[in-house]
Structure 1
């Protein structure tokens, strides 16, 4: 996945899966079931003292926009208040998250805990002496040091080699990543009209959408749109326009959407623009544009405008699978459940024909979900005691599945959601009432019972309680046993190792060149997509590459590979 987009994507997912829902049900009674046995697992931090510590209210800046102001508005937040006497107050934000991070640093107006998007901004905070070094707390934090023993050396990114951060949503296993693949959303009535085809290749999609536009020239009195895309978002053109490269057997989006792509087969970085599947992705969109399928407003549309077109049913499909559960609710309310959307895959013609497994990132690190304690913290030790508990089996289960006997019960050794939990999934308004405690450290892996910690991400539960009747019908007609079947059957996990931690200093010669490489590619992509013919496309492509080579892009690729090899050698010592 793309680094920048990935965070937006994961933010949306956290509002729609139980990762964010576990804390959602705040109407279950004044004691919230906390008289039940939720004692810490052996070795986890205990806060039991003869005199309870004073209430500690901590300001937190997270990426997720919330409908709560304080963590103790939720059951899980109340549990943490009872156990640690800690409450989190959330600092709201609007606009660009990274810009806010930079502004907070410039004005020294940052909260006690802050999420930071990437090692670059983390280093800025370290250089400004704004973060607390965590090393002194590690000897007393057995849970944290054990579960993150592979990550901690990679998190030491400062020149003094001290630990200033942890990361959330890492590590990640295949059966968590694959079901969340953002590919295509498509209207189910259009699928039904054409006999429920299983779409996969470029040709499949072009032919399907071309026919569907003929079959559905208008929708609710408005002209039907073939495909919408969020190219107007900051990460749009630079990120998802060329992303067919990550649907095959060699690449994932782990290196981001700047100058390079990482090849997992060769274990090397490559020039983004020179990866063949990137050009194929641009040519695919040019084909859609020339066929009149691609919405011409896609170049200025963000996910907000995409959602509007999905919610009215005007769009037959959406590129990169965003927000359609919200659109489905709108269509249901408008008495058009037959138009609801489901998710289907997309690959290049060659990828589909080769039938090679598609790679999914099993992330060892995730710098774009970095979290740190700042020098504004009144009691960093108490904060880290909570972080250590969150790393434990009990902590992960409570953060990701909620409270036993309130949000889930145990049946035949497996967690089963309670009705309260199910209602939270189904009620979008209630589902957003979340304490969002992922910043404490969320691991997208399996619990001791063999299933994912995130109860709502387990396929047998996800489909049962999040899919509408229409969606269930559609997948059944397609012959799928569950909504993630294609990706689970046709994918495999790849350990991304230290790849996410490799970056160029933006002020270095290579860093400045990489910015120019990305800007030139992004600026020209629109012209490529809007080319009048294949010949015109090739002419623009040739001219782009001529200008591109003047930047000497190979120096950037070489720098990445050198840094990567040095980092691996350093870890091996």
Structure 2
């Protein structure tokens, strides 16, 4: 989601399925037909893995958006559920040689593995002859060439380019509105302010609907849990941004990599969860909970707050509204470490120039790569992006005084059916590439990214009233007033060769941090935490982590020079 996102909830309100297309089971016809004319093309069915245990829609042509794609290209995606860690699955597929036709690859290290193994097809000829792709991603193509030693292009990425008007990956913390009201809408920001607030709230409400009230819930059992979101308070100020779940963070002010574990804000982040634990405010099951298990807890309003997974908020609030418990709904709030608040730091709004976490490639197992890329090419056009993110004109949006506005049909469906987006086909084709930016008409491709549109009908009345009571103009008010655009540049695309000495050390650094995290959180006192922390740091320093940090900075410098050559 970087960390991140595993579910990749990028454009607000748009369902993003974490998918990867499976090889086999595809019926392909003649390649090279004119896009938009499927009359002479046989049906091309591509099986696609979905992280959803029971997908709402099995085939893309069961949806209105999918039917448009089928009519134009005679291509259908079929969702096949999978379970387990996605990166593990990627490694297993690579080892077995069973390469999917089109594949989402998570992070640059695995991108490099797939390219080195010969699993990915070079896209240069397709791009050179493209109608839209080359112009749409002109600035990004140079960055996307970076993982390959031969300088060829083997991938594209989802959710780039990005801009602050349409994209805010502000995955902080969500709090129940009833307890905010009970305490007079306190201005929460520092970790200490949250501890005090939650202690008072759980004392006042020890049970919720007959169940024990939980303080804070978090999906630490996910691959991006302990590895990514536990230490991530380091990114909530204006000095650092997250670039993945590796051993480094990026100093945006000085444009250099620094050690993650040794960062003082990382320590404050882990200390926050230790304080929650000491006060009985951290759900003990957070250590073993996956995202879906956390989702079930917050759908009942049992937790006073949930951490990081802000993409769940709208669905959860709609569920609570229908269940007759609007008082248990949640609002998203910012959180910073105590030091950040004392220093008056702003909040970096990380805008990824590159997003290797969501890298997409066509593999050598593709039955008809040219036909696949024709669809990719068209999706990158204005017409394709508007279909992908705004839907079908007349059904999902209409033009009023030259502007796109959501139809009553869309609003009604979104409000009344939590599965509406999936049933319409939103998110089904995101693997083909989508932009978290504005269209040529000046509006976001996804109208739900417009904060006024989003708030108008995605916020329930109690949630909207809560923001108003807090003095917010809209649900993103604090971020717009305190946020600073922070483009990542090449930082999130730099990766050390995992087989190199530095790469092996980097893996040990991450493994030690993850392995030590639960014990640190479970420290019974501040003194015990400090003793445990020093023991971890002693082990950590023995790995000589600085050589890894130095290597990252060396690679960044080299890659900046390479990109300059590509652009020239």
* CA-to-aligned-CA distance 1:342-395 (integer Å, 9 cap, x gap): 111111122223333211221121111111112222322222222111111111
**Corresponding residue of 1:310:** 298
Q: Could you tell me how far 1:131 is from its partner in structure 2?
A: 2.3
TM-superposition CA deviations, 1:506-550 (whole Å, max 9, x none): 111111111111121222222222222222222122221111111
Report how far residue 240 of structure 1 moved.
Answer: 1.4
Q: CA–CA distance in 1 between the matches of 2:359 and 2:207? A: 46
Measure, in 2, the Cα distance between the counterparts of 1:324 and 1:47.
Answer: 38
* Separation of aligned partners in 1, 2:182 and 2:457: 27
| Alpha carbons of structure 1 residues 345 and 478: separation in structure 2 relative to 1, 3 Å | same
Aligned counterparts of 1:369 and 1:70: Cα–Cα separation in 2: 22
Residue 485 (structure 2) pairs with residue 498 (structure 1): no
* 1:328 correspondence with 2:317: yes
Task: Find the counterpart in structure 1 of residue 22 from structure 2.
Answer: none
Residues 1:484 and 1:60: Cα distance change in structure 2 (over 3 Å)? farther
| Shift in Å, 1:457 | 1.8
Alignment of 1:252-267 (within 5 A): 252-253=241-242, 255-267=243-255
Q: How big is the shift at 1:63?
A: 5.3
- Residue 72 in structure 1 maps to residue 68 in structure 2: no
TM-score (norm. length: structure 1): 0.90
After superposition, residues 134-173 of structure 1 pair within 5 angstroms as 134-156=123-145, 157-173=147-163
Shift of 1:119: 2.3
Q: In the TM superposition, what is the alpha-carbon distance from 1:60 to its structure 2 partner?
A: 4.6
Structure 2 residue aligned with 1:203: 192
Alignment of 1:438 onto 2:438: no
CA RMSD between the two structures: 2.1
Residue 5 of structure 2 is matched in structure 1 by 6
Tell me whether 1:17 sits opposite 2:13 in the alignment. Answer: yes
2:39 to 52, 61, 80: 52
Deviation at residue 4 of structure 1 after TM alignment: 4.1
**Cα distance in 2 for residues equivalent to 1:181 and 1:453:** 19
Q: What is the alpha-carbon distance in structure 2 between the residues aligned to residue 292 and residue 462 of structure 1?
A: 35
How much does 1:46 deviate? 5.3
TM-score, with normalisation over the residues of structure 2?
0.91
Q: For the residues of structure 1 that align with 2:493 and 2:261, how far apart are their CA atoms? A: 22
Distance, in Å, in 1 between the alignment partners of 2:223 and 2:364 is 31
> Partners in 2 of 1:151 and 1:48 — Cα distance?
26
Structure 1: distance between partners of 2:218 and 2:275: 14
| CA displacement at 1:19 relative to structure 2 | 5.8
* Greater CA drift, 489-498 or 153-162: 153-162
**3-state SS, counterpart of residue 354 of structure 2:** coil
Alpha-carbon distance in structure 1 between the residues aligned to 2:109 and 2:135: 26
Alignment counterpart, residue 370 of structure 2, candidates 339, 359, 381: 381
Q: 1:280 and 2:271 equivalent? A: no
Match of 1:367 in 2: 356
Counting matched residue pairs gives 543
Question: 2: distance between equivalents of 1:303 and 1:503?
Answer: 27
Picking from 202, 213, 217, the partner of 1:228 is 217
Question: Which structure would you say has the larger RCO, counting Cα contacts within 8 Å and 6 or more residues apart?
Answer: 1
Q: Residue 41 of structure 1 corresponds to which residue in structure 2?
A: none
In the alignment, what sits opposite 2:82?
93
For the structure 1 residues 76 and 403, does the alpha-carbon distance in structure 2 shift closer, same or farther, using more than 3 Å as the test?
Answer: same
For the pair 1:471 / 2:463, whether they are aligned, the reply is yes
Contact between 1:60 and 1:113, CA under 8 Å: does it hold in 2? no
User: Partners in 2 of 1:346 and 1:210 — Cα distance?
Assistant: 17
1:18·1:401 contact (CA, 8 Å) conserved in 2? no
Whole-Å Cα distance in 2 between the matches of residues 564 and 205 of structure 1? 37
Q: Of 166, 176, 188, which aligns to 1:176?
A: 166
1:189 to 165, 168, 178: 178
Which of the residues 110, 113, 119 maps onto 2:102? 113
The residue number in structure 2 matching 1:337 is 326
1:37 counterpart residue number: none
Of 277, 289, 295, 1:301 maps to 289
Q: CA deviation at 1:53?
A: 2.8
Contact 2:46 2:75 in 1 (8 A): no
Cα pair 2:317 2:329 within 8 Å, conserved: yes
Displacement of 1:142: 3.8
